[in-house]
Structure 1
């Protein structure tokens, strides 16, 4: 099992390398989204889904609320719900 601090450290390191400033991703939200895509669609859908949600969130403004709303939409679609 992955230690949460490993993911937090990786997120900080990658965010710095990508010049994202002080952005702190909601790791649990991202992992839940990836899980829903992997189990509801197919395993390869997990990285594709998280990338597309991130891209859409960036286009929408990139706020935490944008990310959460788009993640709910994608998760609902992945698990077969019609409304997030």
Structure 2
């Protein structure tokens, strides 16, 4: 039994989303980078805003990669600002 897979499938059914369109690993990587690179509460918020953009058709095809890079850049800039290299 894979709880995460089962939960994802249940949520997709409930919301009328094809589970095949959900790149679980990419989203988990994105939220990990945001949580560690920006702040923990920003992770679910980022995922939610990404979902809104996807639903509105305004998210670029590489949105997950772009947001992941932004989170990594945020962390790098924050380290430079505080002198933590």
Fold match by TM threshold 0.5: yes
Counting only pairs closer than 5 Å after superposition, residues 3-22 of structure 1 correspond to structure 2 as 5-20=2-17, 22=18
**In structure 2, how many angstroms separate the alpha carbons of the residues matched to 1:73 and 1:57?**
14
Q: Which one has the largest radius of gyration?
A: 2
Unaligned runs of 5+ in 2: 75-85
Normalised by the size of structure 2, how large is the TM-score? 0.74
Name the structure with the higher helix share. 2
Instruction: Give the paired residue count.
Output: 73
What RMSD, in angstroms, separates the aligned Cα atoms of the two structures?
2.1
Equivalences for 1:5-84 in 2 at 5 Å?
5-20=2-17, 22-24=18-20, 25-60=22-57, 66=61, 69-80=62-73
Q: Which runs of structure 1 show a deviation greater than 4 angstroms over 4 or more consecutive aligned residues? A: none
CA distance in 1, matches of 2:49, 2:15: 17
Q: What's the CA shift string for 1:4-43, capped at 9, x where partnerless?
A: x2111001101111122x3321110110000010011000
